[in-house]
């Protein structure tokens, strides 16, 4: 059922501290159904909240997911306070429902949560300036640093095998074999592109298995639009979208940001001639991310950063392609074929990274 149809029931379930005057769809996330709720206190300015239905296609255990989010946001809040920051703006804060639960389950089983809207921030879809991209890199690097001592074992795996690229390829192969909608014939080139890179899929996983790369608490979805930028200072203020905070690889957090931000096109750009890795943006992000981590990464992690970039891009392309083949059940689409278009931009970026591989390695070595 469309999320809109449950809104009035859900608004009743939370105490917003003032009458609700409206709730409208918000943001450009691909996974959750996000709304902004406007309230009007008797005196003073309107107050806003973010209301989200967590995606049932993506998240099978909202209870575990919210336990993770509460654990991480409270920990971050304490760390930020200790460093003299403002936890109400620099960390998300879960608002419980009227029964004191961390989220509300609607009559159809849909899980909903509320956060205060963090005002005075902007959420960007593209790295319009290098300064903006650098600010996001520092913020994601700092996120790693702040969570360095978080007890990783207490975190649930909200999406099992989320960045297991070997498993993502296996799922793509299964979708191709089943081809439930007869779409595989039109994506032969993209399927072959992925299959030709099967050996690459194991590079960072193998390094993890051998103990060369450590398991850390990571965000796992480090797109530019998952950090809110301070409208006044231009700095990265608050990391959002904590649904996939789990044990993972730091190189993947770095890599997913490069995948999304180190180029000048939207993820679903159809003119592939415009899609290209911007090495200057790659350099800017690398330096800023490493600065933000404050020396928390090992030498091996730094060395593997280009692999993080390539594999997150390749893997995301596989995920878009798989979803296209099975009927767009995971990533929200606004037009037919959008997931295939998204897959094609990822393939173009991977090819570009392969072409500039030596330069990427040199840039990382110079920043490390
Ligand atoms: P999705 O998983 O679907 O990407 P997000 O949690 O990233 O969902 O939220 C979608 C969008 O909503 C974000 O890109 C951002 O624009 C906005 N948003 C989310 N939380 C907040 C918040 N606390 N304050 C302001 N904007 C927010
Ligand atoms: C999704 O939730 P959002 O829109 O920030 C996805 C990421 C993908 C991204 C591609 C939980 O991110 O893994 O990289 O789309 N999140 C989930 O744009 O699957
Ligand atoms: Mg998001």
Each residue's pLDDT tens digit, 5-42: 999 999 999 999 999 999 999 999 899 999 999 999 99
Q: Which ligand is nearest to the CA of 120?
A: 1
**What digits encode the pLDDT tens for the residues 190-246?**
999 999 999 999 999 999 999 999 999 999 999 999 999 999 999 999 999 999 999
Cβ(40) to ligand 1 under 6 A? no
Same domain, 182 and 75: no
Cβ(296) to ligand 1 under 6 A? no
DSSP category for residue 55: P
For tokens 């409270």, the residue is 74
pTM: 0.96
What Å distances lie between residue 17 and 20, 39, 40, 42, 116, CA to CA?
9, 8, 9, 10, 11
Question: Which residue, by CA, sits nearest to atom 6 of ligand 1?
Answer: 241
- Segments forming the whole domain that contains residue 87: 56-103
Residue 81: partners with Cβ closer than 8 Å, 6 or more residues away: 87
**What digits encode the pLDDT tens for the residues 280-304?**
999 999 999 999 999 999 999 999 9
* Dihedral pair phi/psi, residue 120, rounded to 5°: 70, 25
Same domain, 25 and 168: no
Ligand 3 centre to CA of 29 (Å) is: 4
Is 165 contained in some domain?
yes
CB 171 within 8 A of CB 267: no
Write the DSSP assignment of 151-219 as a string of letters.
-GGGS--SSTTTT-HHHHHHHHHHHHHH-TTS-GGGGHHHHHHHHTTTGGGGHHHHHHHTTSS--EEE-
**What digits encode the pLDDT tens for the residues 73-105?**
999 999 999 999 999 999 999 999 999 999 999
> What is the reported pLDDT for 368?
87
**What digits encode the pLDDT tens for the residues 236-255?**
999 999 999 999 999 999 99
Is 1 contained in some domain?
no
Question: Which residue, by CA, sits nearest to atom 5 of ligand 2?
Answer: 29
What integer best gives the mean pLDDT of the chain?
A: 97
Residues with CB under 6 A from ligand 2: 29-31, 58, 221, 223, 226, 241, 243-244, 256, 267, 316
DSSP H helices, the chain, are 7-13, 62-82, 87-90, 130-146, 165-178, 188-195, 203-209, 250-261, 279-293, 299-303, 305-326, 338-355, 357-367
For the record, the structure tokens of 223 come out as 């797109």
- State yes or no: pLDDT of 347 exceeds 80: yes
- State yes or no: pLDDT of 1 exceeds 80: no
Q: What span, in angstroms and rounded, lies between the C-alpha atoms of 199 and 201?
A: 5
Ligand 3 centre to CA of 226 (Å) is: 5
Same domain, 81 and 191: no
Residue 308: partners with Cβ closer than 8 Å, 6 or more residues away: 204, 249, 250, 251, 252, 253, 254, 255, 256, 258
Question: Which residue, by CA, sits nearest to atom 22 of ligand 1?
Answer: 117
- CATH number assigned to the domain comprising residue 205: 3.90.1200.10
Q: What span, in angstroms and rounded, lies between the C-alpha atoms of 68 and 250?
A: 18
Ligand 1 centre to CA of 49 (Å) is: 11
Q: Which of 30, 163, 322 to mutate for ligand 2's pocket (most ligand atoms within 8 Å of CB)?
A: 30
Dihedral over Cα of 52, 53, 58, 59: its sign = positive
**What digits encode the pLDDT tens for the residues 98-125?**
999 999 999 999 999 999 999 999 999 9
Same domain, 93 and 165: no
Is 69 contained in some domain?
yes
Same domain, 247 and 343: yes
Question: Which residue, by CA, sits nearest to atom 1 of ligand 2?
Answer: 30
Residue 107: partners with Cβ closer than 8 Å, 6 or more residues away: 6, 9
- For residue 31, give the ligand 1 atom closest to its CA: 3
Is 3 contained in some domain?
no
> What is the reported pLDDT for 44?
87
- For residue 220, give the ligand 2 atom closest to its CA: 13
Task: Count up the domains in the chain and report the number.
Answer: 3
* Dihedral pair phi/psi, residue 284, rounded to 5°: -60, -45
Ligand 3 centre to CA of 221 (Å) is: 8
Q: What span, in angstroms and rounded, lies between the C-alpha atoms of 323 and 360?
A: 30
Same domain, 136 and 282: yes
Cβ(27) to ligand 1 under 6 A? yes
- For residue 26, give the ligand 1 atom closest to its CA: 12
Same domain, 64 and 46: no
Same domain, 133 and 79: no
């Amino acid at each position: 059922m469309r999320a809109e149809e449950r809104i009035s029931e859900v608004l009743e379930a939370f105490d917003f501290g003032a009458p609700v005057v409206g709730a409208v769809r918000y943001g450009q996330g691909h996974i959750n159904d996000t709304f902004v709720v406007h309230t009007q206190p008797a005196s003073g300015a309107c107050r806003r909240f973010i209301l989200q239905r967590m995606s049932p296609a993506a998240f099978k255990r909202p209870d575990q997911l919210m336990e993770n989010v509460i654990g991480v946001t409270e920990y971050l809040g304490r760390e930020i306070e200790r460093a003299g920051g403002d936890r109400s703006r620099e960390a998300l804060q879960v608002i419980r429902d009227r029964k004191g639960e961390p989220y509300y389950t609607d009559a159809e089983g849909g899980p909903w949560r509320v956060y205060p809207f963090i005002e005075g921030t902007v959420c960007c879809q593209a790295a319009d300036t290098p300064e903006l991209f650098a600010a996001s890199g520092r913020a994601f690097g700092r996120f790693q640093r702040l969570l360095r001592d978080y007890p990783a074992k207490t975190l649930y795996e909200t999406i099992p095998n989320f960045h297991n690229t070997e498993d993502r390829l296996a799922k793509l192969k299964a979708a191709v074999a089943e081809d439930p909608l007869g779409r595989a014939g039109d994506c032969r080139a993209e399927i072959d592109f992925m299959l030709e890179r099967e050996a690459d899929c194991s590079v960072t996983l193998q390094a993890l298995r051998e103990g060369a790369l450590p398991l850390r608490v990571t965000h796992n979805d480090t797109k530019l639009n998952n950090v809110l930028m301070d409208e006044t200072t231009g700095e990265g203020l608050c990391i959002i979208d904590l649904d996939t905070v789990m044990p993972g690889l730091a190189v993947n957090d770095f890599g997913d940001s490069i995948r999304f931000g180190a180029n000048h096109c939207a993820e679903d750009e159809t003119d592939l001639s415009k899609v290209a890795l911007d090495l200057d943006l790659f350099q800017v992000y690398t330096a800023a991310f490493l600065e933000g981590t404050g020396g928390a990464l090992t030498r091996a992690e730094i060395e593997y950063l280009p692999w993080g970039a390539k594999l997150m891009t390749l893997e995301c392309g596989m995920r878009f392609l798989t979803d296209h083949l099975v009927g767009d059940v995971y990533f929200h689409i606004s037009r037919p074929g959008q997931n295939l278009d998204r897959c094609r931009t990822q393939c173009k970026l991977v090819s570009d990274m392969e072409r500039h591989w030596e330069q990427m390695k040199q840039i990382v070595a110079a920043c490390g």
